[in-house]
Structure 1
Amino acid sequence: MTLTIRKSVFLPADQTTVWDHLTRADLLGKWFHPASSDLVEGQPYTLLSQKDGDRMCWGTVEKLSPKDHMRWSFTVGPLNGTMTTVDWHLTTAPGGTQLSLEHSGLPEDAEGYGLVLALDKGWHGFLGNLHEIETMALS
């Protein structure tokens, strides 16, 4: 069994709006990290630090099924080049969209556990940011 982080959030926005926030460079920076370009299937991506513009995380967009599913290979500096996988699933929910994230292929050793905790905390915060943006758009 591989170590996997799973998160889910209900957003008061339609799937198209949520999808745009996951794939458009101008919107990614509002809740996650600024992107160097829009996310395109088969293309590498780089997300930058909000603080200093340095490369924060990167990989390749492996799959895009617009408004339903996206898969990235994903790494950050502390993973020392090891690629993990992030899957995003969007489903229609009453009044909006359920967004689910699954981050798999994470380190399973004791040394990697601190990184897993940091990633778990990060995903929790970023999905909270997205929820706040979508909720504020309604008011």
Structure 2
Amino acid sequence: MTLDMTLDMTLENQMTDTAIQKSVYLPAPKTRVWDFLTKADLLGNWFHPAQEDLAEGEDYLLTSQKDGDRMCWGRVEEMSPHDYMKWSFTVGPMEGVMTTVEWRLADAPGGTKLTLEHSGLPNNAEAYGLVLALDKGWHGFLLNLHDMS
């Protein structure tokens, strides 16, 4: 492989096991947190609005609250209500390359521990800005969940 061929590799060929992991403790039962992760009318309160409730085996599209542009999309790969959910996930800068987002809910004294793992992210210097942006975004969105009402 020549240097030129290496530089022309697509983002998809550069996806690896790089992952973002975050946990947040929420003063709500798992059933309530689950609703905020899956219900169309609640997703927009902390993340991006959905056109319909998330369902296993179904595609999803989350849009901008400001102008309705698509923000992220994929498929709900697996759901175990109130405990676990797995999405395929992409955003515009990823040019359709899918990554994986997993949500784990666990009982905690006084509420729920919610853990997010976003894996399959690029592992190269050129795409590090994307990883940083996703990390910052997830941080802010998870903090928004503290305002569940």
TM-score, with length taken from structure 2:
0.88
Question: CA-to-partner distance for each residue in 1:46-89, whole Å, 9 max, x for gaps?
Answer: 00011110110000000000000000000000001100000000
Aligned pair partner of 2:141 in 120, 126, 135: 126
Displacement after TM superposition at 1:119 (Å): 0.2
Kindly state the Cα deviation for residue 31 of structure 1 after the two structures are TM-superposed: 0.4
Larger gyration radius, structure 1 or structure 2: 2
Q: Deviations over 1:78-135 (max 9, x none)?
A: 001100000000000000000000000001111110000000000000000011x13x
Identical-residue share of aligned pairs (%): 69
Aligned partners of 1:36 and 1:58: how far apart in 2?
11
Structure 2 residue 83 is the aligned partner of structure 1 residue 78: no
- Give the superposed CA RMSD: 0.8
Aligned positions of 1:84-95 closer than 5 A: 84-95=99-110
**Matched residue type, 2:123:** E
Q: 1:26 aligns with which of 41, 48, 51?
A: 41
Q: Which letter does structure 2 place at the counterpart of 1:34?
A: P
Letter in 2 for 1:74: F
TM-score for the superposition, normalised by structure 1: 0.94
Structure 2 unaligned spans of 5+? 1-15
1:6 matched to which residue of 2? 21
Rounded Cα–Cα distance in structure 1 between residues aligned with 2:135 and 2:112: 21
Q: 1:110 aligns with which of 125, 133, 140?
A: 125
For residues 57 and 50 of structure 2, the distance between their equivalents in structure 1, rounded to whole angstroms, comes to 16
Q: Which of structure 1's runs of 4+ aligned residues deviate more than 6 A?
A: none
In the alignment, the residues of structure 1 paired with residue 128 and residue 51 of structure 2 have an alpha-carbon distance, to the nearest angstrom, of 29
Matched residue, 2:112: 97
Hey, what's the Cα distance between the residues in 2 that align with 1:119 and 1:51?
A: 19
- Pick from 52, 75, 78 the counterpart of residue 63 of structure 1: 78
Equivalence for 1:43 = 58
Q: Number of residues paired by the alignment? A: 134
1:111 and 1:26 mapped to 2: Cα distance? 37
Structure 1, unmatched stretches of 5+, are none
Deviations 1:10-58 (A, max 9, x none): 0000000000000000000000000011000000000001111011000
